[in-house]
């Protein structure tokens, strides 16, 4: 099989002054992951490494640089799925784990359980030598400034999707990776700080298998956007349903987003890999994504003309 990897680092509106640094962050991540795949490594290792890199990149909303809850705290969610083994590992609401994707992988590989929340997840991390970090070190000045601005603005949670202010629409910065390896196995990983100004305890789509992240023996999928809508749409499963109707990944992705928009609303972007290729689609103005195949050199894009 020819390997393929696609990454995203969020949908929404990327302000002009952040576009170049987003490009650097996502391309650095895809280079690391591509090396794994072209050297015969597994899809699951490639997606884990790509997401780890993006969690460490402070501009993206995952790991260091995660957006803050309305109380100014960090609550990160992550999920990893191995399409070959149907293994799943995930965490919900962790605030002291440097790389939630690494903890998710450890849970997938070492635990009898599948998903842990908060203290249980952090306890599992300590017991399995996954790096714990002071919550303050995950909080950037930019995250603090954005929360301050959010708390002052009119409209409250969810009012930002259609705001005319680009910075208000720029908050759906979940990161994700989907891949197929030389052995034809799929994997997906997604990690997020959630949505800016969320209530404490709120859970988004990222750690919900089949909604924000999914892999099996026919596809690998990762979403970004407003979790409440993605969960209601069960977006990963909608993509799978659409692939049964038309196996073109771009067509299936567009149709799944249309189903979500027509029935539920919201805003989302997604990336998808199947045996027939890959797709990166969105309902927002921008989707930060990068793809790599044996036929193409590094590639990234922010804007595709779809459903603005």
Q: Is 226 in the site for ligand GLY (CB under 6 A)?
A: yes
Which of 222/293 has CB closer to ligand GLY? 222
**Nearest Cα to Cα of residue 10 among 247, 278, 307, 269:** 269
Q: Is 224 in the site for ligand GLY (CB under 6 A)?
A: yes
Cα–Cα distance between 254 and 258 in angstroms, integer? 6
Considering the candidates 64, 174, 190, 206, report the single residue annotated as catalytic. 174
Q: Which of 205, 238, 281, 286 binds ligand GLY (CB under 6 A)?
A: 205
174 is catalytic: yes
Q: Is 204 in the site for ligand GLY (CB under 6 A)?
A: yes
Q: Is 63 in the site for ligand GLY (CB under 6 A)?
A: no
Candidates 34-42, 163-171, 199-207, 248-256: pick the segment binding ligand GLY (CB under 6 A).
199-207
33 in Cβ contact with 5 (< 8 Å): yes
Q: Is 194 in the site for ligand GLY (CB under 6 A)?
A: yes
Tokens in use for 27?
A: 């391309």
Cα–Cα distance between 12 and 5 in angstroms, integer? 22
Q: Write a three-state SS string for 160-200.
A: CCCCCCHHHHCCECCEEEEEECCCCCEEEEEEECCCCCCCC
Tokens in use for 11?
A: 């949908």
Which of 195/288 has CB closer to ligand GLY? 195
Least Cβ distance, residue 108 to ligand GLY (angstroms) = 20
Which of 135/248 has CB closer to ligand GLY? 135
Q: What is the DSSP string of 47-84?
A: HHHHHHHHHTSTTSSSSTTPPPPTTS---EEEEEEETT
Q: Is 206 in the site for ligand GLY (CB under 6 A)?
A: yes
Task: Note the residues at the interface with ligand GLY (CB under 6 A).
Answer: 174, 192, 194-195, 204-206, 212, 224-227
Q: Which residues are catalytic?
A: 174
């Amino acid at each position: 099989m020819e390997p393929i990897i696609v990454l995203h680092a969020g949908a929404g509106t990327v302000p002009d002054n952040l576009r170049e640094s987003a490009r650097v962050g996502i391309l650095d991540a895809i280079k690391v992951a591509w090396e794994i795949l072209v050297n015969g490594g597994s899809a699951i290792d490639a997606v884990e490494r790509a997401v780890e890199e993006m969690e460490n990149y402070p501009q993206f909303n995952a790991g260091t640089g995660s957006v803050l809850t309305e109380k100014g705290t960090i609550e990160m969610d992550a999920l990893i799925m191995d399409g070959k083994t149907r293994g799943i590992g995930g965490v919900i609401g962790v605030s002291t784990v440097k790389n939630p994707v690494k903890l998710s992988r450890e849970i997938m590989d070492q635990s009898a359980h599948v998903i842990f929340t908060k203290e249980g997840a952090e306890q599992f991390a300590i017991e399995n030598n996954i790096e714990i970090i002071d919550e303050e070190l995950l909080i950037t000045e930019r995250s603090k400034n954005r929360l301050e601005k959010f708390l002052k603005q009119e409209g409250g949670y969810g009012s930002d999707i259609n705001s005319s202010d680009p910075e208000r629409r720029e908050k759906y910065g979940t990161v994700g990776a989907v891949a197929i390896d030389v052995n034809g196995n799929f994997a997906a990983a997604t990690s997020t700080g959630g949505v800016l100004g969320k209530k404490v305890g709120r859970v988004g789509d990222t750690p919900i298998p089949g909604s924000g992240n999914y892999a099996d023996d026919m596809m690998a999928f990762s979403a970004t956007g407003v979790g409440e809508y993605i969960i209601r749409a069960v977006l990963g499963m909608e993509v799978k349903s659409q692939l049964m109707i038309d196996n073109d990944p771009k067509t299936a992705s567009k149709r799944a987003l249309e189903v979500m928009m027509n029935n539920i609303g919201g805003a989302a972007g997604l990336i998808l890999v199947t045996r027939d290729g890959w797709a990166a689609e969105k309902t927002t103005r921008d989707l930060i994504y990068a793809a790599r195949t044996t036929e193409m050199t590094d590639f990234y894009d922010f804007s595709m003309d779809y459903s603005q």
